[in-house]
Amino acid sequence: MTTAPPRYPGRAPVDAYGNGGFRFAHMSHRGSILCLPSGIYAWSPSSPSEIGAASLAPALAEADALGLFLLGTGQHQRMPGPEVCRAFAAASIGLEAMDTGAACRTYNVLLAEGRPVGAALLAVA
């Protein structure tokens, strides 16, 4: 779990994305977000090159509550580096990278189905 307080404590679908942020749970947030079982948190990366195992450590800390983790990499799909793939494999969490829009839609469907899903979503303009 991250040490920063969540922007929203618990799980909620992503209602909208774009214009540099996200809407969820009747709230809005500028910047990237990390959607975990424990809550929705501000996430510092703003580009795919800033995504690493360290930035995803809060997700790895909640491995027992995650079966699949979606990585929204902005306007275009970018594959994560090998250290990220190894960290998720070691934690027995499936990892799927896709553009942020696809990640938001997939997250919402899996969340509605009650699946153990989390997501890291880069904000898009």
Output the pLDDT for position 2: 57
Kindly state the tokens that stand for 62: 């909640």
Distance of CA 66 to the CA centre of its chain: 12
Which residues lie below 8 Å from residue 55, measured CB to CB, with a gap of 6+? 43, 44, 45, 120
The pTM score is 0.95
Q: Is 44 helix (H, G, I), strand (E, B) or coil?
A: coil
Q: How many angstroms separate the CA atoms of 85 and 121, rounded?
A: 17
The pair of structure tokens assigned to 113 is 């189905």
Q: With 70 as the cut, is the pLDDT of residue 57 above it?
A: yes
Q: Return the domain boundaries, the chain.
A: 14-121
Rounded to the nearest integer, the mean pLDDT of the chain is: 96
Provide mean pLDDT across the span 50-62.
Answer: 97
Query: For residue 51, what are its two tokens?
Result: 């995504």
CATH (residue range 14-121): 3.40.1230.10
